[in-house]
Structure 1
Amino acid sequence: MANVEIWRKRCRLGLFAFYGFAGFLHLAFPAPFLSITPDWVPDAPDVIMLTGVCEIAGAIGLLMPQTRRYAGTALALYAILVFPANLKHAADSLSAPTTSSWQWAYHCLRLPLQPLFVWLAIFSGGRKRPRHI
């Protein structure tokens, strides 16, 4: 059981760094995120700013024992909700006339990893498995 907690802590720290940095980028440099936001998203600049704030809040929440479970759940939901932007980014990038091999590699790896981000957030937050009856 101690081994699981060690990995949970490592994953928490990794997600803290990842989401904290991503949140900072959303706030400091919103243009790249605006370019991948689907057209049907209303008030895209405000949504990008809000997503940055949510990422930073979730990252900080993972480090606090009182909010860890909620932050993990919120970041898992966040990873699900931003998936349409990831799909649009991949579609736009891969259908461009000058698509490089690194873009193909990035998107072919990134899209299937989204469920892993969901799981990592839940795992890092400390959600317990249901007991078997």
Structure 2
Amino acid sequence: MCASLARFKRPLLYLMGPLYVVAGLLHFVVPELYVQIVPPILPAPLALVYLSGLAEIGVGIGVLLPRTRQYAAWATIALLVAIFPANIYMATSGVVVAGMPGGGDPSAFGRWARLPLQGVLILWAYWYTE
């Protein structure tokens, strides 16, 4: 790893963990927001939203703890892969996502930008698998 990037590894860890915890909590605060983007082929959308919320909270806490960091980083990668179909569905289906923070439906650019962002998030999590 490049030395100039290495100095950001610890501070970014303390950003990553809370981001996942907050994202996971939002699944319980506004579950209807997430239910809308669960692909219709999947069963029990609300249960999947709650399950993914719990998983996000778990990985967010897990990466902050040295004993569980590597496992949580791998679990984060698995979670990001598992939720990728929802991002694809949101980008391609034209579903109107009601209840977005700040109001309004995300733009087409925002919907499609989420797809490569998943790759960035996977690489970020991979950084902590070592």
Q: Tell me the TM-score range normalised by the shorter chain.
A: 0.7 to 0.9
Deviation of 1:116 after TM superposition, in Å, equals: 0.9
| Alignment-mate amino acid for residue 75 of structure 2 | A
Range with bigger deviation, 6-15 or 25-34:
6-15
Q: Is the 8 A contact 2:20 2:57 kept in 1?
A: yes
Give 2:74's aligned amino acid. Answer: T
Larger relative contact order (CA 8 Å, sep ≥ 6): 1
1:107 and 1:44 map into 2 onto residues whose CA distance is 20
Runs of 4 or more, structure 1, over 2 Å off, are 1-6
For 1:118 and 1:36, locate their aligned partners in 2 and report how far apart those are by CA, in whole Å: 20
Matched, 1:50 2:51: yes
The partner residue of 2:119 within 115, 120, 131 is 115
Is the radius of gyration larger for structure 1 or structure 2?
A: 1
TM-score (norm 2): 0.82
1:42 partner SS: coil
Identity of aligned residues (%): 29
1:105 to 106, 109, 127: 109
Unaligned runs of 5+ in 1: 129-133
Structure 2: which 5+ runs fail to align?
97-103
Structure holding more helix per residue? 1
Matched letter for residue 34 of structure 2: F
Name the Cα RMSD after superposition.
2.2
Query: Secondary structure at the residue paired with 2:8?
Result: helix
Whole-angstrom distance in 2 between the partners of 1:110 and 1:17: 19
Residue 11 (structure 1) shift? 2.3
Match runs of 1:31-46 below 5 Å: 31-46=32-47
Other-structure match for 2:101:
none
